[in-house]
Amino acid sequence: MQRASNRTVTVDITYGDEYFGQVGPFEVDLGWWSSVDEVVARATAAAGVPVLVARLVDGHSEDPGHGGRVRYHAEALRRPAGLNSRPLDGDAAALLGPAALLGPAERRAAWATPAGLRAALAWAEAELAAVGRPQAGPARQIRTWNLSGLVRIPTATGVDAWLKTTTPAFNAREGEVIALLGGVDRALVPTVLAADPAGGRLLLDHVPGEDCWAPSAGTVADLVPRFVAAQAALADRPADLAGLRDRTPPALAAQLTALLDRLPEETDLTPEELDGLAGFAAGLPGLLDRLADCGLPQTLVHGDFHPGNWRSDGAGTVVVDYADSCLGHPALDGLRPRAYIGPEAWQHHVRVWTEAWQRHAPGCDPGRALELAEPLHHLSYALRYQEFLDHIEPSERPYHEGDPASELRALLACARGA
């Protein structure tokens, strides 16, 4: 399916306990529901005061997460004098849907509430001042959805900072992961200006350059060996990795067993597909033994090592976004770029990745590990997507609703091919 390049947007605006109605519908250029930069700009112009998106209220599209008709709740940072208001209760609540926008919702992200959004911005402003980088202009909201929020903040030094918010319950402590990798290769990771792990807040220095969605052969040849070298070094320090979430192959096998009990009620997998997954689970111990024989160590795994999370300015490449990081098998990272690059680029990546591991783990068989780990790669994402669904509020479920079943079907296709 070709993904939509735009969407039709309506925004409900509040300020505290007051409701100021809707602005829109209007068209925005980017189809991704989570991209809110233009939504904020259009809603701010309509309201006459700065507004920020708190959360997605609902969305309707043939390709959930992209295009179609989308509705957001935005909070005004100042009272909109040019708009009429009414209390956010009674008839207003009925207009807004089954639950008032400011009412509580189970599993709502902290930054998806007006109070939580304001608190995160205030935290970032205070932390920037504390490190001698005071905020120098309005924060620019770039992205918000159930997994994270991303805000770009100008500072007095002329170099922007980035505020990232995540949910601690199901995400890695990114500041700690960055510190582990940065202790091996400082140029591999962004600079952390401040971190609040308990609050799920991270303040990062701007990384110049562009995201490497179509990485050059030179970028791969430079970055991949450096990342492998860092993983190999950290594999020799198991005590430092003890705080990471366990996504090692044995842990994935145990988590699959728990997931199988839920699948009949929670997915559209057929009885034949469920039988196939049960058969895969029965044969999994043998697969894990063969994978272990390949000789690669358990280590820190990025968890989402696709080239869109590599950022390069031509002189160097930095890896960003460590929310999915865990303790696991490095082949999971080795396989991740495959879905994002063409066949020729994939073969180049495989050569670079396998040669790097052969240097750091003499006698290992990384090429065989990639082949054996492919079903586990899909299993790890099925489990991760299910983790998302277990921790997000109902209005956000369209982003991920069919993802666990999709990954499990890919797992079955790998198993049949093997």
Whole-angstrom distance, CA of residue 418 vs CA of residue 416: 5
Q: Is the pLDDT of residue 385 over 80?
A: yes
Q: How far is CA 417 from each of CA 281, 286, 375, 414, rounded to the nearest angstrom?
A: 16, 17, 10, 5
State phi, psi for 157 to the nearest 5 degrees.
-80, -10
Confidence label for 17 from pLDDT (cuts 50, 70 and 90): confident
Contacts of 340 (CB under 8 A, 6+ apart): 213, 306, 307, 308
Query: What confidence tier does 267 reach under pLDDT thresholds 50, 70, 90?
Result: confident
- pTM for the full predicted model: 0.93
Say yes or no to pLDDT of 159 above 90.
yes
* 289-344: pLDDT as tens digits: 999 999 999 999 999 999 999 999 988 999 999 999 999 999 999 999 999 999 99
Mean pLDDT of 127-151: 96
Closest CA to 376 of 289, 309, 271: 289
Q: Which of 99-103, 313-317, 350-354, 356-360 has the lowest mean pLDDT?
A: 99-103
Residue 7 has pLDDT above 50, yes or no: yes
What is the pLDDT at residue 395? 84
pLDDT score at 21: 86
Q: Is the pLDDT of residue 30 over 90?
A: no
**What are the tens digits of pLDDT across the range 238-257?**
999 999 999 999 999 999 99
| φ, ψ (nearest 5 deg) of residue 194 | -165, 155
| The pLDDT value given to residue 388 | 94
pLDDT band per the 50, 70, 90 thresholds, residue 101: low
Number of H helices, E strands in the chain: 12, 15
d(CA 368, CA 202): 37
Starting at the edge strand found earlier in the chain, the sheet holding 192-196 runs: 140-144, 149-153, 161-165, 201-205, 192-196
DSSP 330-369: THHHHHGGGGGS-HHHHHHHHHHHHHHHHHHSTT--HHHH
Going along the chain from its start, the domains and CATH numbers come out as 7-103 (no CATH), 111-205 (3.30.200.20), 210-417 (3.90.1200.10)
Mean pLDDT of the residues in the chain? 92
Say if CB 57 and CB 97 are below 8 A apart.
yes
Output the pLDDT for position 103: 67
- Residue 100 has a pLDDT of 55
Percent of the chain predicted with pLDDT > 90: 80
Place 85 in a pLDDT band, splitting at 50, 70 and 90: confident
**For residue 263, pLDDT beyond 80:** yes
